[in-house]
Structure 1
Amino acid sequence: MSFCTKCGQQLQPNEIHTCVSPEQPSVNATLSSSTPSTPSPILTTARDHLANVDKHKILNLIKNPMSALQLRSESDLLYGVLGLVVSLLGFVLWAWSFKHQLIKLMLLGFGSLINDEKESYREASEYLPIVNHMLLLGLISLIVLVGITLLLGNKMGLHKLHWKDSMVQLGGLQLISGIGFIVAALMMFISIKLSFVLLFTTLLATLALTLVAGIEMFRIHRDRIALFIGLVVLIQVCAILVVFNSFGSELIEEAQRISRNLF
């Protein structure tokens, strides 16, 4: 009986022997280590949804907002959610641009009294939580507008819709509003007056489109159209006033505090 002098393995008669290094990984180990890891199910689902986005449908929603009435919850839920998200983010972006320009104007007015403009801007930004308040205002306003149109439409209209279909259609309608808010935010860096004009135009157009869509979606009889419009507008205005009143005085106090602390 003989053994290999290198690896110590027993040698059989008439056998061709090949030494195997102990450090050499096995084939199975090599294959397992080279196999890519399986992606997370959540990431896979998100990628699948994004991959299925129809750009032509999005462009059509921008060119013809009323085409949102053709959306269905079974196949177009993503577009309804996208419209709501873009609308809210666009409004928040406008709030940020307004805050930025407001602080710049305040610093410009007291330019000779400021030693460090960057530090003053940072402190003023901390003292003036406009974006957070506007995020709350935009979120509640959007929820009330869509929710009250859905509820009143189903109650007063001749055609009843499932809440998912209603939400998707009304949500897809808000996509054009988000584009309007984004344009108004960019205009803020050119002209504050024009930015406010675009903002209020977008808000009024959003309300009008939502009312027209609600009347058509739920087939509200002409005898009830005036009541439907009046209730939606009244509830929307009341919700905005309640939310704004909760932080309006706080914004004034914070602005006064900026003047005292920085200047």
Structure 2
Amino acid sequence: MSDTHSNQPDLHKKEAHEEVESQTAAAAATDAAASAAPGPASPLAAMDPKKLAELLKNPTASLQLQPQTDWIYGALGAAAGVVGFVLWNWLFQEAIKTKLGIFGAWGGLAIGNLFGVSVPAKFLLLGLFSIVLLAGSLTLIGNWRGARKRDWREAAAYLGGTQWLFGAAWIVSGLLAFVSLQLSMLLGLFLLLVNLVLLVGLAQDLHEVGRERKFLYITYSLAAYSLLFYLITSILA
């Protein structure tokens, strides 16, 4: 056998080794470039307007969110719901003042003095505590009575993400008060009822609560929420 033929296996091994080293170096360079690339400055910068638009159209689109990265949509959605609820109450009171004139202004001042804080500030605190306590109660009781446990990111994304539409709808309801106080109140109460039913039903599915446990799940969750909310309102009053 000639030397040329005897050296061929070594040459093939050398070429294969060099190819592997080349691929490894390329992969390392790619990883280094990816790690060196600047990420988003904040979760807000990574928000997708399309996802936000979808949440505004359909609250249950929150189920499509990825909790580990999209929880910010839920957190801001809950905030939007609270702000919308506060604006509805404030606009409703302003509409009353407009219709009643100076007597309405005196009434608003008397209410503010009674609670010790401005009415919008009180509603802001109540709205904030309400959504946090409701989501917290549904999650804690769901982790206890349901077949599947959820962490705070999942609760924020899935439950909080439903509130974008309600926040916008409450603002519309508040503006409607300048046309008709009755229609504004009816729409506002309708939104509260639908919101409660949606959140409870959604939480049941997320925690995979069995049919035989649904009644107790709803009872325990709303009882815990009502008790905690009562304690908060007692402190703020």
Give the TM-score of the pair, scaled to structure 2: 0.72
Tell me the equivalent position of 2:126. 137
Number of matched residues?
196
Structure 1 residues 108 and 171 mapped into 2: Cα distance closer, same or farther (>3 Å)?
same
State the identity %: 29
Q: Which structure 2 residues correspond to residues 161-200 of structure 1 after superposition, within 5 A?
A: 161-200=150-189
1:233 Cα deviation after fit:
2.5
- Residues 150 and 167, structure 1, Cα contact 8 Å, conserved in 2: no
Tell me the equivalent position of 1:75. 69
Query: Which stretch has the larger CA shift, 162-171 or 206-215?
Result: 162-171
Unaligned runs of 5+ in 1: 1-43, 111-116, 249-263
- Residues 150 and 166, structure 1, Cα contact 8 Å, conserved in 2: yes
- Residues 79 and 128, structure 2, Cα contact 8 Å, conserved in 1: no
Whole-Å separation in 1 of the counterparts to 2:100 and 2:234: 24
Q: Which has the higher helix share?
A: 2
Tell me the equivalent position of 1:91. 85
Structure 1 residues 167 and 122 mapped into 2: Cα distance closer, same or farther (>3 Å)?
closer
Whole-Å separation in 1 of the counterparts to 2:159 and 2:169: 16
- Residues 103 and 124, structure 1, Cα contact 8 Å, conserved in 2: no
Q: In the alignment, does 2:138 pair up with 1:149? A: yes
Q: In the alignment, does 2:101 pair up with 1:107? A: yes
Structure 1 residues 172 and 227 mapped into 2: Cα distance closer, same or farther (>3 Å)?
same
1:207 Cα deviation after fit:
0.7
Structure 1 residues 124 and 45 mapped into 2: Cα distance closer, same or farther (>3 Å)?
farther
- The one-letter code matched in structure 1 to 2:135 is V
Whole-Å separation in 2 of the counterparts to 1:167 and 1:204: 20
1:209 Cα deviation after fit:
0.7
- Residues 85 and 170, structure 2, Cα contact 8 Å, conserved in 1: yes
Tell me the equivalent position of 1:23. none
In structure 2, the residue corresponding to 1:203 is in which secondary structure? helix
Q: Deviations over 1:35-94 (max 9, x none)?
A: xxxxxxxxx825x733x3222212222222122122223221221112111001101111
Whole-Å separation in 2 of the counterparts to 1:204 and 1:91: 13
Larger radius of gyration: 1
Q: In the alignment, does 2:38 pair up with 1:49? A: no
In structure 2, the residue corresponding to 1:45 is in which secondary structure? coil
Q: Deviations over 1:9-49 (max 9, x none)?
A: xxxxxxxxxxxxxxxxxxxxxxxxxxxxxxxxxxx825x73
Tell me the equivalent position of 2:60. 66
Tell me the equivalent position of 2:8. none
Structure 1 residues 123 and 217 mapped into 2: Cα distance closer, same or farther (>3 Å)?
closer
Structure 1 residues 236 and 193 mapped into 2: Cα distance closer, same or farther (>3 Å)?
farther
1:218 Cα deviation after fit:
0.8
In structure 2, the residue corresponding to 1:233 is in which secondary structure? helix
- The one-letter code matched in structure 2 to 1:88 is V
- The one-letter code matched in structure 2 to 1:186 is L
1:162 Cα deviation after fit:
2.3
Q: Which structure 2 residues correspond to residues 114-133 of structure 1 after superposition, within 5 A?
A: 127=113, 129-133=118-122
Tell me the equivalent position of 1:28. none
In structure 2, the residue corresponding to 1:220 is in which secondary structure? coil
Q: In the alignment, does 2:232 pair up with 1:236? A: no
Whole-Å separation in 2 of the counterparts to 1:213 and 1:126: 36
- Residues 107 and 121, structure 1, Cα contact 8 Å, conserved in 2: no
- Residues 153 and 214, structure 1, Cα contact 8 Å, conserved in 2: yes
Whole-Å separation in 1 of the counterparts to 2:205 and 2:123: 31
Whole-Å separation in 2 of the counterparts to 1:145 and 1:64: 21
- The one-letter code matched in structure 2 to 1:96 is W
Whole-Å separation in 2 of the counterparts to 1:190 and 1:150: 39
